[in-house]
């Protein structure tokens, strides 16, 4: 019987170094590119701005508010955007604001809301709380919020 020709001729040369590895190379290059972009890529001017440390005291009915949470929300009506700031109110009514894992907020205008078990619910709504703050880069004095 005559011998049939081989359908897949064998190539005995060694495979190139990347053969079979190209999907992993693509993933590694994409990951490295993402790291480079995250580190040196465009930064928001708000994120690059210096944070201003914000602290103060909340009073309710002329006494320090004994515990709660205070939130500084950027006021879009006054052209403010960027990260929100938040802080805990201790038993003496004292608070510090943190945003994006750093102490302080970006300078600008903020609507302020305050949550506590002894406060009326209107203080949870920025449009009803009646509380706001303008944070300037040279803020040196603690803020005071007097709630009635």
Instruction: Answer whether 0.75 is exceeded by the pTM.
Output: no
Q: How many domains does the chain have?
A: 1
pLDDT of residue 71: 95
Detail the DSSP E strand segments found in the chain: 55-60, 63-64, 68-74, 85-89, 94-96, 98-99, 102-103, 108-115, 132-135, 143-147
Q: Residue 4 domain-assigned?
A: no
Q: Residue 126 domain-assigned?
A: yes
Q: Residue 104 domain-assigned?
A: yes
Q: Residue 37 domain-assigned?
A: no
Classify the C-alpha dihedral 120-59-67-128 as positive or negative: positive
pLDDT of residue 24: 53
Q: Residue 19 domain-assigned?
A: no
Q: Residue 70 domain-assigned?
A: yes
User: Which CATH number covers residue 87?
Assistant: 2.60.40.10
pLDDT of residue 45: 45
> Is the separation of the CB atoms in 51 and 38 below 8 Å?
no
The stretch 1-25 carries a mean pLDDT of: 60
pLDDT of residue 115: 94
pLDDT in tens, 82-140: 889 999 999 999 999 999 889 999 999 999 999 999 999 899 888 888 999 999 998 88
Q: Residue 6 domain-assigned?
A: no
Q: Residue 28 domain-assigned?
A: no
Give the domain extent around 66.
Answer: 48-147
């Amino acid at each position: 019987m005559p011998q049939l020709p081989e359908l897949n001729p064998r190539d005995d040369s060694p495979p190139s170094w990347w053969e079979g590895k190209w999907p992993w190379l693509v993933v590694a290059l994409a990951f490295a590119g993402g790291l480079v972009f995250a580190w040196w890529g465009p930064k928001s001017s708000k994120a690059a701005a210096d944070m201003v440390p914000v602290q103060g005291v909340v009073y309710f009915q002329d006494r320090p508010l004994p515990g709660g949470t205070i939130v500084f929300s950027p006021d879009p009506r006054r052209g403010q955007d960027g990260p929100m700031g938040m802080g805990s109110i201790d038993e003496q009514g004292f608070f510090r604001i943190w945003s994006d894992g750093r102490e302080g907020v970006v300078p600008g205008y903020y609507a302020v809301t305050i949550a506590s078990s002894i406060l009326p619910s209107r203080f949870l709504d920025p449009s009803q709380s009646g509380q706001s703050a303008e944070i300037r880069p040279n803020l040196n004095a603690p803020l005071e919020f007097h709630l009635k």
